[in-house]
Amino acid sequence: MELTALVSYLDGYLQVADVPDAPAAVNGLQVANAGTVSRVAAAVDLCEATVRMAAERGADLLLVHHGLFWGGLQPLTGRAYRRVAGLIAHNIALYSAHLPLDLHPDVGNNAVLARQLGVSLRGEFGEEFGVRIGRWGEIDVSRHALERQLAALTGSAPRLMAFGPERVRRVGIVTGAGGSMIAQAAAAGLDTFITGEGPHHTFFDAEELKLNVFYAGHYATETVGVKALAGHLHDRFHLPWTFLDHPSGL
């Protein structure tokens, strides 16, 4: 498949031009290849390891959630050079989608994780850069049953701050580093909030706002979106794909 056609489709499907994001996100095509795509690799992060893994699996397009430019403008030396040089040497194009992938209603991290947990989605909450990125919905499970579900999905036990009701009925999800949105989750009338991680003081936010908060891992909660996006490309364009698992444990 022609790279330009695939990029045009992804830009439209993810509404890259319409979703505000941090300037360093640089959503969309970040590195081109010779012009065609025959195999897709999906990863949470662009790093030397995922470039190497993509090359080993014969991919010529790497889809990531966190792309090349999070450190801002920097010389192409050292590891920055090695990342780009690896992509070019192996003819691998790089496409990155941060908030456009977080909030997408079909393949977005938040919506996909909600569906995997059996949450019936009802709306949006949690504003970032002027756009609501979180998804909330309804479920009727015990707090500890939800904890077990999360552990099974992510492969590790989440950190639970159990300050809300034992029976979970209104749950919101912002994958990744969403701890700063605890107050917004409470304001939205939720009793439980699921995210990846947050700073120390968010313990007291959860405690004082009487909210159940699950920290299920930044990396672990954001594997679902890139997998869903790659799966969507397979279904639509019959492109084979593979997931590159390089967990940070954070």
Helix segments in 117-222, DSSP class H: 143-154, 182-187, 202-209, 218-221
- CB distance 50 to 64 below 8 Å: yes
Query: Is the residue at 248 inside a domain?
Result: no
Identify whether residues 115 and 213 lie together within a single domain: yes
Query: Is the residue at 180 inside a domain?
Result: yes
Task: Give the pLDDT mean for 171-197.
Answer: 98
Identify whether residues 44 and 112 lie together within a single domain: no
Q: What is the pLDDT of residue 26?
A: 97
Identify whether residues 44 and 139 lie together within a single domain: no
Give residues with Cβ within 8 angstroms of 128, minimum separation 6: 99, 181
Report the alpha-carbon distance of residue 3 to residue 8 in Å, rounded.
Answer: 8
Banded model confidence at residue 73, pLDDT cuts 50, 70, 90: confident
Q: Which residue has the higher pLDDT, 74 or 190?
A: 190
Banded model confidence at residue 64, pLDDT cuts 50, 70, 90: very high
Q: What is the pLDDT of residue 241?
A: 98
Identify whether residues 111 and 28 lie together within a single domain: no
pLDDT of residue 223 exceeding 90, the answer is yes
Query: Is the residue at 238 inside a domain?
Result: no
pTM, 2 dp: 0.96
Domain of residue 131: give its range: 103-221
pLDDT of residue 55 exceeding 90, the answer is yes
Identify whether residues 89 and 114 lie together within a single domain: no
Q: How many domains does the chain have?
A: 2
Identify whether residues 42 and 83 lie together within a single domain: yes
Percent of the chain past pLDDT 70, that is, above it, reads 100
Query: Is the residue at 157 inside a domain?
Result: yes
Query: Is the residue at 229 inside a domain?
Result: no
Q: Which two tokens stand for residue 123?
A: 């709306």
Identify whether residues 196 and 114 lie together within a single domain: yes
Task: Give the pLDDT mean for 177-201.
Answer: 97
Identify whether residues 117 and 28 lie together within a single domain: no
Give the tens place of pLDDT for each residue, 108-152. Answer: 999 999 999 999 999 999 999 999 999 999 999 999 999 999 999
- Among residues 75, 98, 121, the one where a domain terminates is 98
Q: What is the pLDDT of residue 71?
A: 84
Q: What is the pLDDT of residue 72?
A: 87
Quote the strand ranges of 67-119, DSSP E.
Answer: 93-96
- CB distance 109 to 101 below 8 Å: yes
Task: Give the pLDDT mean for 68-97.
Answer: 95
- Among residues 74, 98, 122, the one where a domain terminates is 98
Give the tens place of pLDDT for each residue, 16-40. Answer: 999 999 999 999 999 999 999 999 9
Q: What is the pLDDT of residue 107?
A: 98
* Beta strands at 28-31 and 93-96: parallel, antiparallel or unpaired: antiparallel
| Mean pLDDT across the chain | 97
Q: Which two tokens stand for residue 35?
A: 């012009």
